Amino acid sequence: MKLADDAARQQFIHDHHTNFSVIAPAGVGKTTAIVARVVAIIQQHSIPLDQLYVVTYTQKAAHELYDRTLLKLFSHGESNSASIQKIFFGTIHALADRILRQYGSLIGLPSDFQIETQTDSLWQDFLYQDKQEVSIPPPYRAFIELEAIERLVQMHSEGQSSALTPTDPIPFPTINWNLLLDFPAKNNRTIADFQNNLRRWIQEPTLPFPSMSSTAKDFVALYRSVMEPIETACACHFQQQYEAVRERFSKFRLQSGRLTYSDLIVFAQQVLAMQSRRSGAYVLLDEAQDTDPEQFQLLLQFASDSPLSNPKSGHFCMVGDPQQSIYESRANVRFYQDLCQHLIRENALKTLEFSVTMRFSEAIAAQVNRVFQPLFEHSGQQVDFVPITAIKKDSNALWQCLRTTQPDEEALVTLFQNKIPKDFGITHWSEIAILAPRRTWLQELQQALARPGLPEMQLHSTSTTYREFREFAWIEALVEFLWDPQNTFELAGILREIFGCSDDAIASYLTTPSQNPSSPVHSYYIQLHQLAKELTEGTPLAIIDALLEKLELRSRILAVQPCYHGDIERTVIRLAAQCPTLFEFKCQLHQPASTSYEPESINENALQLYTFHKAKGLEWPVVLIPFINREPYPAPFTFPNLVHGQVVLNKAQQERMFPNLPIEARNNTQRLLYVALTRQRQRTIFIDDSTTPKPNSLKNILESGAPFFDTLPTFNYYR
């Protein structure tokens, strides 16, 4: 059947000489289209495959694109997968890592640099080496903590802290404290206490500055008029000192070869900027709405033939949906939209729009359009709404509401008590997802629903890293050893963890190995060194295969843990397939080692618990959304804070400098709701505990666009 947007899809798939920005709303099959484009490129030989870079937001998404492309090739009779091995499938950070491995020496970066995800030890090493004192003159010293500057630098060493708004020095103002001290307190105890504290502080102006909690309008207005010039000057000085420390910390990371993920992007930009001429890579960017400004600049540089030019025709394509931009604190959706418009004006980009969803029925598509079109269009500063159409005709698939006087957790207990999946029209419990905007809310549910007679629950978005699993850690250690057989630290760890040798036996043998041939460590020691001789010249794929088989790693792991994580093994194999040499494979293993592991396997017998953020890109037959009367925003702030490239010292200053932050938070929450409410294939059930909705609750947000919950049918359970 020909889709209404088929012309746009076919142009994207087969026109490889035009730059495209594809708007792809929920469920329209953007991954299918990207895979079809890559397969067409391979079959038509229209682009040099070793210069094609398919970049997406997560490693999991990159793996899916790779696997589906491979399957598509096989379905077309392409039995030789050598062509796909030439193409890069990965995250923007993996791409930056590759650039720096090849050309990092241009900026003085050691070739064996590593990625640091836990910055505590990195920060302490910097402080030990850094001998420059942070200068805080007396007028500022009473308002600014040195520790606050350092804390903010450390906090943002992993974020996009380099995009700072330039500041000019501001002299410290002359302060007339008498304006506050002479204010008639009358019988207002709060004002009188503040004035007494202020008098004592003036005598000895050290931190902290006296807090003021009065709500008297006249005094609050006077207080703000006195404090605003002080706060402005202090914020400016704080930012200058912050930039100085941040720059030294950045230089330390570069010279020591210990980089954060943010460093990968910044330093890769610097490397590309030093290359005046280059051929220009072919970049296909997925999830463009989640790409931050610095990442965009890197990709545009990479796809251009000179630092200041636009990408050449056919060298830059991106697929995204502004309506699903849900990382506002990092990825600026305004920048994304402005960039599109700039490239369109420069005739360097053409917009295509996919509008037909394959996920749900016409009835649900009509509901999405009815709810979100007025919600987005009447919100101010919100992204444009893109209507969607559907090809499914099922009119019974609807949004419903379970109205109850019980707390949400108890309502869910009642809903699932002694039920089976068939009662919900599904085959397995894993076909139901419970979504919430905050992970802590899901943890509440997980604890509350851990009762007899209820289904199991699988909570996603864990913080466990790959390195905490033997399937990854053992391979990583063995690869390090193969690269450097003299690394006794790794060797000792391998002998202890994999072969179960005692520390005493290892220490005794490694001290004088030639004199201890009868030691139980000896045979393992010989086996490992023999493998090092045999394997170091092989491809990474051959090395992994040999390690798994000759050392019987799978059975050894199953001997010490109940299950084997085959998806982690597949992750390692994918990395090996992308690397031509052992050294490059060793370097690539460092990237996922400290990143959070998300299981590819789903427990069919468990309800799936996801945050709204984690649910993006996924779908289920049935979706449950509890806690609609709670407030998901605004998130609590800590001060000093870095907001839109500027230092903010307190809440009042933030409200004065950035009055639109509440609007941005509301708009981001609206887009989060769009993501959550487009995950269903059959129906979504809201849980309404009948409490009074909070001002910024999900219920009030949805009702602000058009009547919503009153129009929903009540969910009833029928066995």
> What are the pLDDT digits (tens) for 602-630?
889 999 999 999 999 999 999 999 999 99
Residue 19 · residue 314 · CB < 8 Å? yes
pLDDT higher than threshold 80 for residue 400: yes
Q: Do domains 6-104+263-354 and 362-462+602-711 have the same CATH topology?
A: yes
| pLDDT of amino acid 507 | 85
Average pLDDT over residues 586-601: 75
Distance CA 382, CA 322 (A): 9
pLDDT higher than threshold 50 for residue 719: no
Average pLDDT over residues 277-284: 83
Distance CA 4, CA 701 (A): 32
* Superfamily of segment(s) 6-104+263-354: P-loop containing nucleotide triphosphate hydrolases (3.40.50.300)
In 298-353, beta strands by DSSP E: 316-320, 350-353
CA dihedral 341, 94, 290, 389 (to 10 degrees): 90
Protein fold of 362-462+602-711: Rossmann fold (3.40.50)
Average pLDDT over residues 175-189: 92
Residue 158's pLDDT band, with cuts at 50, 70 and 90, is low
Average pLDDT, the chain: 89
3-class SS string, 52-97? EEEEECCHHHHHHHHHHHHHHHHHCCCCCCHHHHCCEEEEHHHHHH
Distance CA 419, CA 596 (A): 33
610 sits in which H/E element: strand 606-611
DSSP H stretches of helix in 204-304? 217-256, 261-273, 293-302
What global pTM score does this model have?
0.81
Side-by-side strand order, sheet with 620-625: 399-403, 680-688, 620-625, 432-436, 606-611, 456-459
Q: How many CA atoms lie within 13 A of 231 on its CB side?
A: 21
pLDDT higher than threshold 70 for residue 453: yes
CA quadruple 172, 177, 179, 180: dihedral sign: positive
> What are the pLDDT digits (tens) for 91-139?
999 999 999 999 999 999 998 898 887 677 788 889 888 888 787 888 8
pLDDT higher than threshold 60 for residue 718: no
Residue 349 · residue 319 · CB < 8 Å? no
Distance CA 136, CA 236 (A): 12
Average pLDDT over residues 24-39: 95
Query: Of 68 and 562, which is predicted with more confidence?
Result: 68
Distance CA 639, CA 650 (A): 6
* Domain extent listing, the chain: 6-104+263-354, 127-256, 362-462+602-711, 466-593
Residue 388 · residue 26 · CB < 8 Å? yes
Residue 279 · residue 308 · CB < 8 Å? no
R_g over Cα of the chain: 29
